[in-house]
């Protein structure tokens, strides 16, 4: 490893997860099993991927940990907030993602993770009915209680650093409104005025994390840190933020497959995506106001890959529709169907069908690990504000829409951004073009 200005990953890394449901218990159980050598962290790029550094005679392919100082799995301590009081073991069993035989070897560690009371507002997730919730006078008090939880966790577990990861349900859609979200002062005033219409509980988590020196990752499509006020706070506190929405199943396929159509200069008439999902996420998304948040996130992917202005003959008039259907029998075993209507030589139509029978939490767990390790690395490297290099993992990557910045959704361009950032933090030259 080259000498760099990145601080070493000494001591313990605390990971505080908002939501102790299917995704987070699968993530936590997998990490605990992997560090005992009882399971493999398949799907995690920080644990498996190798990338090139240097050119010519200097060229070599290294694991990420041999380029940059990543936290070791054995140094991670977990905590969580949830509206339901079940501990991590009970939640993992209830989620029915992992088999009991794959949970029991770390049962004692999971039993010890008891969820803190959640900062919750039922108006933001009407389908959830938990009673393990904080009593808050207003949004400012809600935020202060979360800050106290972070401080207590640091003290009790003796962790050196904390990352806060949102792996809870999708909130109802909060449209960015510059009157409330445009500046940090406006956001703080709205929190103190208990403006529950414009200040989501997730914003209280993010604000609290950034005030307690904890990088924040938004794993749902919530507006949370995707507002100028939060960008301002991240700049002031010199902390990295990333969001939004884990890119697990259908959008991963879309961001990887759409470049095939674009690279081959084939035309697109329409792309219809539908999902069936039965877990708690599916239940929450069955509420139209919550689905709207997800729809905005999922619809944004294609438009920056197959761009009408660049190829009007091919992409000026395609129809893009996304649907999610709550279907309890499937539980976590999500199924995504994509019907893609394309056209080729002389405008002749063709079709592509993709049927992805995936496991939502099995795909999300390695993303959680990578995002936590890489945002902790970014913090130690002195990077702050929106971490665009983490777009690879996110369905609706954050970008500065106030100046019409276009997000990069093309999977392979995102991968170049990821590798270049790791090269730079490792003391190497960022030597790949994003084009």
From 308, 338, 357, the end of a domain falls on: 357
Mean of pLDDT values over 12-34: 98
Q: Is residue 189 part of a domain?
A: yes
Residue 153 lies in a domain: yes
Mean pLDDT, residues 60-75 taken together: 98
Asked whether residue 78 is assigned to any structural domain, the reply reads: yes
- Indicate the residue among 335, 357, 379 that finishes a domain: 357
Across the range 36-61, mean pLDDT stands at 97
CA separation for the pair 369, 73 (Å, rounded): 9
275 lies in a domain? yes
Residues 68 and 198 in one domain: yes
Residues 237 and 320 in one domain: no
CATH number of the domain enclosing 264: 3.30.360.10
Tell me: do 60 and 140 sit in the same domain: yes
Mean pLDDT, rounded, for 38-47: 98
Which residues lie closer than 8 Å to 46 by C-beta, 6 or more apart? Answer: 64, 65, 70, 369, 370, 373, 374
User: Domain residues for 126?
Assistant: 13-246+361-425
When divided into structural domains, the chain yields a total of 2
Q: Which residues contact 196 (CB under 8 A, 6 or more apart)?
A: 121, 123, 139
In tens, the pLDDT along 110-136 reads 999 999 999 999 999 998 999 999 999
Quick check: is 131 in a domain? yes
Q: Could you tell me if 105 and 187 lie in one domain?
A: yes
pLDDT of residue 54: 94
Residues 22 and 91 in one domain: yes
Question: What is the structure's pLDDT at 299?
Answer: 74
pLDDT at 1 over 80: no
| Domain co-membership, 32 together with 147 | yes
Does 2 map to a domain? no
**Sign of dihedral through CA atoms 282, 326, 366, 36?**
positive
Do 21 and 143 fall within a single domain? Answer: yes
pLDDT, tens only, 253-265: 999 999 999 999 9
CATH code of 380's domain: 3.40.50.720
Identify whether 106 is part of a domain: yes
Residues 6+ apart with CB under 8 A from 57: none
Same domain, yes or no, for 126 and 254? no
Q: Answer with the one of 327, 357, 387 that is the final residue of a domain.
A: 357
Residues 274 and 405 in one domain: no
Do residue 302 and residue 378 come from a single domain?
Answer: no
Q: Does the residue 104 lie in any domain?
A: yes
Task: State mean pLDDT over 324-353.
Answer: 94
Specify the length of the chain in residues. 435
Q: Does 144 share its domain with 269?
A: no
317 & 208 share domain: no
pTM of the model: 0.95
């Amino acid at each position: 490893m080259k000498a760099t200005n990145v601080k070493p990953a000494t001591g313990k890394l605390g990971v505080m997860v908002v939501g102790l449901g299917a995704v987070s218990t699968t993530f936590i159980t997998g990490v605990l099993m992997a560090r005992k050598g009882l399971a493999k962290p398949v799907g995690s790029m920080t644990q498996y991927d190798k990338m090139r550094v240097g050119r010519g005679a200097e060229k070599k392919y290294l694991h990420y940990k041999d380029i940059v100082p990543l936290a070791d799995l054995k140094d991670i301590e977990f905590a969580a907030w949830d509206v339901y009081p079940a501990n991590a073991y009970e939640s993992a069993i209830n989620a029915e993602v992992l088999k009991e035989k794959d949970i029991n070897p770390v049962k004692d560690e999971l039993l010890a993770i008891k969820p803190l009371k959640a900062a919750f507002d039922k108006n933001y997730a009407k389908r959830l009915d938990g009673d393990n919730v904080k009593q808050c006078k207003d949004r400012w008090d809600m935020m202060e209680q979360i800050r106290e939880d972070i401080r207590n966790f640091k003290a009790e577990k003796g962790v050196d650093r904390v990352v806060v990861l949102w792996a809870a349900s999708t909130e109802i859609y909060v449209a960015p409104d510059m009157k409330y979200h445009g500046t940090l002062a406006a956001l703080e005033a709205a929190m103190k005025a208990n403006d529950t219409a414009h200040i989501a509980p997730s914003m209280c988590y993010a604000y609290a994390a950034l005030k307690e020196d904890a990088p924040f990752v938004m794993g749902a499509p919530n507006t949370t840190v995707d507002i100028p006020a939060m960008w301002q706070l991240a700049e002031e506190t010199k902390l990295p933020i990333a969001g939004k929405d884990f890119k697990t199943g259908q959008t991963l396929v879309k961001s990887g497959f759409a470049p095939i159509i674009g690279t081959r200069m084939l035309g697109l008439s329409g792309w219809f995506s539908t999902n069936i999902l039965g877990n708690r996420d599916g239940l929450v998304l069955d509420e139209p106001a919550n689905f709207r948040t997800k729809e905005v996130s999922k619809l944004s992917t294609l438009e920056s890959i197959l761009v009408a202005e660049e190829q009007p003959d091919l992409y000026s008039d395609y129809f893009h529709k996304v649907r999610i259907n709550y279907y309890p029998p499937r539980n976590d075993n999500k199924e995504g169907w994509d019907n893609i209507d394309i056209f080729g030589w002389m405008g002749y139509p063709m079709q592509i069908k993709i049927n992805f029978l995936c496991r939502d939490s099995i795909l999300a767990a390695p993303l959680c690990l990578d995002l936590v390790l890489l945002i902790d690395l970014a913090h130690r490297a002195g990077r702050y504000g929106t971490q665009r290099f983490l777009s690879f993992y996110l369905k609706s990557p954050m970008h500065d829409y106030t100046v019409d910045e276009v997000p990069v959704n093309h999977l392979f361009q995102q991968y170049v951004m990821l590798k270049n950032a790791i090269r730079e933090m490792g003391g190497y030259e960022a030597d790949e073009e994003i084009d």
